[in-house]
Chain A
């Protein structure tokens, strides 16, 4: 199966966070709960698909496509 990232998720889709493509993922994102095993749901994508508005295990945040494409997930 092809690996998905948050950037590949459509609006309304849910997934489980698996790992990060590089170590250099911002610590702030991790502190906000974006860690392995937590679920992520795409709530909305801004015009031009970027940024992406997420619900990560109860925390609501928005990130840019650039970072979203570094977070590997498994679709539910």
Chain B
């Protein structure tokens, strides 16, 4: 087990991501045979097919890849940082904060005045949620304080979203908000990719910075501090990384839950179980999972297109059940 992972893990993950990406570009409501799709991607072939592939499916695949990766990485980093296998970005209120920011944009009609306003408000919402979190958690470096403060912030943001739905001036606005809260990668363009990638890359860098600190935290906060970890700075980097990275993702895709929860659990048994070893494999597995879920959304025949967040939520429940059964020693 060199480098903390089983030898075949990375080849398998790369294969899964590639399969996900190829299916994501190849599968859709317009059936385009592989040979013609390949030609279109190389700039030849039918212009309509090229438009579908390059302007619709390619950005969708790229977003699935990047958003899945940051969600998986955030989950792995947070589980390591909080030493809690049930942690994921929504625990800190970042996801709900971002969603509230976006809902505000829709509710006040700001989203229609400028396309960039919704994503910007989503990122701002995530950062405001995390600033509030820091304020509530105070100078304490303890993970428990942070989780409690996160529940409070998350609940507050959730209440704000419900309020917006409750007071919504017309059913269309309410429907738009609901649609957005379900999470989807439908009809995204390259402008969305350009908008999401910078914050996602910055967030990933901030989260990956502290891999060693997460390992040291296996020994608790005192143990980590005695191994040279600056807990206050680690916390700042983790909060900013989650806020910026997940904020950027939610800004484009809407709320997609559970990826950050599921993926580290799938990956962990295939590593030496140290928090640093699951970070990048979780990013790759998150990308593969979201790409495949997004393909499933297109393949499963429904009258309204199935929303991505709904699919991932259904996938999340079994993970909780497995945990529950292990706790009760039924399995």
Q: Are these two chains actual partners, yes or no?
A: no
Interface residues of B (CB under 8 A from A): none
